[in-house]
Amino acid sequence: MRKFLVITIPIITLILFIFVMESDIFLKRSLGKNDSISESINAVINDIQMDDWDKAVQDTNHLSEVWKKIVRMVQFSSERDEINAFSINLARLRGSILAKDKAGAFTELYEAYEHWEDLGK
């Protein structure tokens, strides 16, 4: 009993803490269907390349939903600055799509992708 209290509980606790702090390794991967950030970003890039602005709006909304879902899971293992930067990129992307500004939209998308890659690193 003493061994369990003195050794096992602290070890299990530390392992659990390490898991929470490093959980982005598992949680950044797509867990279900259509919830991959990189795929969603690629979809918006394709839409803009094809000048399909209506589809780009739809895919940006989808990207926002996926982001909201994932951020809830990775927030414990990630830095706030990267999370905030990604959210700002999404807001600017909406503006660029509304103005049909291809260059601006691409800038935001690639920057968002970079922030996604750096999240939790």
Q: Please give the single-letter amino acid code of residue 45.
A: I
Instruction: Tell me whether residue 21 or residue 98 sits nearer to other proteins (CB atom).
Output: 21
Least Å from the CB of residue 112 to other proteins:
16
Tokens (6 digits) for 77: 């293992």
Q: How many CA atoms lie within 13 A of 109 on its CB side?
A: 25
Binding mask 17-56 vs other proteins (x if CB under 8 A, - otherwise)? xx-xxx----------------------------------
Tokens (6 digits) for 68: 């909201």
Binding mask 68-107 vs other proteins (x if CB under 8 A, - otherwise)? ---xx--xxxxxxx-xx-----------------------
Which helix (H) or strand (E) covers residue 94, if one does? helix 80-98
Say which residue the tokens 């260059």 belong to: 103
Residues, the chain: 121
Task: Give me the residues that bind other proteins (CB under 8 A), please.
Answer: 10, 13-14, 17-18, 20-22, 71-72, 75-81, 83-84, 120
